[in-house]
Amino acid sequence: MRRSVLSLLAATTALTLAFAAPTRAAEDAVVIPAPAMDASPATGIQTAVIAGGCFWGVQGVFQHTAGVVNAVSGYAGGTKATADYETVSTGRTGHAESVEIKFDPKKISYGKILQIYFSVAHDPTQLNRQGPDTGTQYRSAIFTTSDEQKKVAEAYIAQLNSAKVFSKPIVTKVSALEGFYPAEAYHQDYLTLHPNQPYIAFNDIPKVENLKKLFADNYIEKPTLVSASKATN
């Protein structure tokens, strides 16, 4: 679905500038409780890697989240040799479109990141798809970087399923991170660079709006961009 979006981007840019953005998706976030178990207090920048459909929207949500130092779109679940957009898009590489989140645990906890992930960043009850995108590369997955992250994620999924906050069971898979590979440059900061692009306006801008509405204390207006991070390094 998004492959055609990318190829038609140049053609649609003029149209989206000339006309108002399309009606946005009536995408309702799900209000969910905070995790009963969270990671222990820590110092230093921590890493979380999550997958929830198209990485454009997931990256955009966490770029507007306070305490996030950097959020990079990329690929996890497969090998480095096949970690490119064209190959991953076949759905045969084992990769999921993912986002690597570097965060300051003194400002936001791992559990809070998971709460935002399950509540506004994607629908964790959709199996091997997310919205208009289908295939294993769009699956819901958490790639953990420690045993503690694994315990927190699995406990939270069990908590949410037990509370029946979603109409269907959560299908998110939890597995250890074996490697994260950043996506091509044109995928980075995509939501910020193309807010009126039809796919973004319809599917992803509502996620950021839901973040602002439901997690006001964690929302920042100015996004933390990959391009800005590179400029300061």
54 given a catalytic annotation: yes
Phi, psi of 50 (to 5 degrees): -135, 155
Q: Tell me the C-alpha distance between 57 and 228, whole Å.
A: 18
Residue pLDDT, tens place only, 15-42: 332 233 333 444 579 999 999 999 999 9
Which of the residues 54, 58, 96, 205 is marked catalytic?
54
Give residue 14's pLDDT band: very low, low, confident or very high (50, 70, 90): very low
Tokens describing residue 215: 């997690």
- The answer to whether residue 4 scores a pLDDT higher than 60 is no
Q: Tell me the C-alpha distance between 124 and 161, whole Å.
A: 11
Q: Tell me the C-alpha distance between 107 and 103, whole Å.
A: 8
Q: Is the pTM of this model over 0.75?
A: yes
What pLDDT score does 28 carry?
A: 75
What pLDDT score does 231 carry?
A: 58
| Helix (H/G/I), strand (E/B), else coil: 214 | helix
What pLDDT score does 228 carry?
A: 86
Residue pLDDT, tens place only, 105-132: 999 999 999 999 999 999 999 999 999 9
